């Protein structure tokens, strides 16, 4: 299987959370209407919904991602960046969602506004891939050791966050981590 054969939604508007979820599951699992519905269930009384963009283009927050994952039997666990990624039990993890800061640009002008971007990472046929919707194609990270290095490098930045995606059963049994004493 080549990189071009992998399921990879590319960035449209501010729908990176939607793309990250679909790229994580390697299929069109969610639609914008479902994520919008989750937003309204989270804040039914708010005229301006705090869980998405005011303009309705997406920009969903982690609460929407968590609820979407829960609707499919999965959990998002915040990874404490003070721990080393070697503590993760790779075999019981479905994938990762990385949240990174992004500059807000219009054409070539960078505005003094900050946005967040969601990126899916997962193993496919024994190799880990960066499934960032802003990439032309998925980017091969490599083995679990390579992924460990990648995660360490990403989490050096204080404003990046990593969420470990597991089944509800794995989360309940805490089988996603090898050693939680660090």
Burial of 176 (0-12, 13-18, 19+ CB in 10 A): buried
Non-local (6+) Cβ contacts of 95 within 8 A are: 24, 120, 121, 122, 123, 165
* Helix H or strand E segment including 110: strand 109-124
* Helix H or strand E segment including 130: strand 127-130
Active site positions, annotated: 16, 117
């Amino acid at each position: 299987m080549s990189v071009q054969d992998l399921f990879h939604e590319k960035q449209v508007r501010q729908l990176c959370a939607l793309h990250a979820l679909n790229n994580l599951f390697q299929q069109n699992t969610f639609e914008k209407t479902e994520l919008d519905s989750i937003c309204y269930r989270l804040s039914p009384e708010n005229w301006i919904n705090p869980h998405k963009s005011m303009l309705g283009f997406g920009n969903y927050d982690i609460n929407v991602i968590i609820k979407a994952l829960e609707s499919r039997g999965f959990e998002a666990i915040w990874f404490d960046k003070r721990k080393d990624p070697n503590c993760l039990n790779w075999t019981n993890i479905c994938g990762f969602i990385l949240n990174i800061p992004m500059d807000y640009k219009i054409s070539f002008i960078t505005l003094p506004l900050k946005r967040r971007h969601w990126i899916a990472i997962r193993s496919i046929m024994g190799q880990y891939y960066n499934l960032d919707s802003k990439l032309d194609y998925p980017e091969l990270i490599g083995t679990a050791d390579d992924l460990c290095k990648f995660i360490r490098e990403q989490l050096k930045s204080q404003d990046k966050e990593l969420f470990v995606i597991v089944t509800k059963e794995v989360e309940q049994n805490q089988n996603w981590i090898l050693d939680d004493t660090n």
